[in-house]
Amino acid sequence: MLFLVDYENVGNAGMKGSSYLNAKDHIIVFYSETKKNMERRTLEIITASECIFEICKLCKTGKNALDFYIASKLGELFGGGQEGIAVIVSNDNGFQAVRDYWEKRAEHRRKVLLSPCVEDGIVCGGENNERTRELKRLRENLTIGGYHAAYLERMRIKTVLQKLFEGTEYENMTEEIRNLIEGKEKTSKTIYLNCLHLFGRNNGLAIYNRVKACDEL
């Protein structure tokens, strides 16, 4: 994906989601002298992602000057054969005209998204990949009470398992065992088969039998 960041408009908040950039992405940060600083962690995250990273500093200040830079650069890239989704990271509604041109008027149509931050751009892009699925999962709205109840149950099971396997050769495996018990399918059969698959026949059977005999699980 191509990201054109109106940094003067969005600042550090617009860089949210930079940790999900990858080597297939291209990000260009447009900024001016009035807003020339970015958090070190964000810059290091961008460069560590191995994406194509460019910057473009405004030469002369002027009304909407940076917007014209971004629109011009997008036209330059699309005209040069740039493919895929482009995301303009800005809160400026004026960029809707740029999006409409490329999606409705241009001879060679291109998909242009408007987003307040990098993360929203990735999600709205709707690509069929792991980062999009992970971001959608993380952004899912959950009830606070329900999540907390599930958290308390996980902590209870963790404590039970630590006591159950304390002093055995499996006491350092309680985290893996807990993951088996808390899986989506928690039937005796699936737990039994998963124990054998993960720990081997002998160890898996020993772990399963101990878990099955515990009244607290």
Write the pLDDT tens digit of every residue in 85-138.
999 999 999 999 999 999 999 888 999 999 999 999 999 999 999 999 999 999
The conformational region for residue 23 under phi > 0 = left, psi -120 to 50 = alpha, else beta, is alpha
Helix (H, G, I), strand (E, B) or coil at 212: helix
Calculate the alpha carbon distances from 62 to 59, 71, 129, 134, 145 in Å.
10, 15, 40, 40, 50
pLDDT band for position 185 (50/70/90)?
A: low
pLDDT band for position 183 (50/70/90)?
A: low
DSSP-assigned states of every residue in 133-174: HHHHHHT----HHHHHHHHHHHHHHHHHHHHHHTTSTTGGGH
Distance CA 61, CA 67 (A): 11
Report the greatest alpha carbon distance in the chain: 75
Helix (H, G, I), strand (E, B) or coil at 52: strand
pLDDT at residue 5 is higher than 80 = yes
Write the pLDDT tens digit of every residue in 24-70.
999 999 999 999 999 999 999 999 999 999 999 999 887 889 999 99
Compute the average pLDDT of residues 173-179: 93
**How high is the pLDDT of residue 187?**
84
Question: Residue 182 carries which side chain, given as an amino acid letter?
Answer: E
Computed on alpha carbons and rounded to an integer, the radius of gyration of the chain in Å comes to 25
Distance CA 206, CA 171 (A): 13
Question: Residue 24 carries which side chain, given as an amino acid letter?
Answer: K
- pTM comes to 0.83
- Contacts for 115 with CB less than 8 Å, ≥ 6 apart: 87, 88, 89, 121, 124
Look at residues 92, 72, 75 and name the one whose alpha carbon lies nearest to residue 14: 92
**How high is the pLDDT of residue 181?**
85
**How high is the pLDDT of residue 184?**
62
**How high is the pLDDT of residue 22?**
97
Question: Residue 189 carries which side chain, given as an amino acid letter?
Answer: K
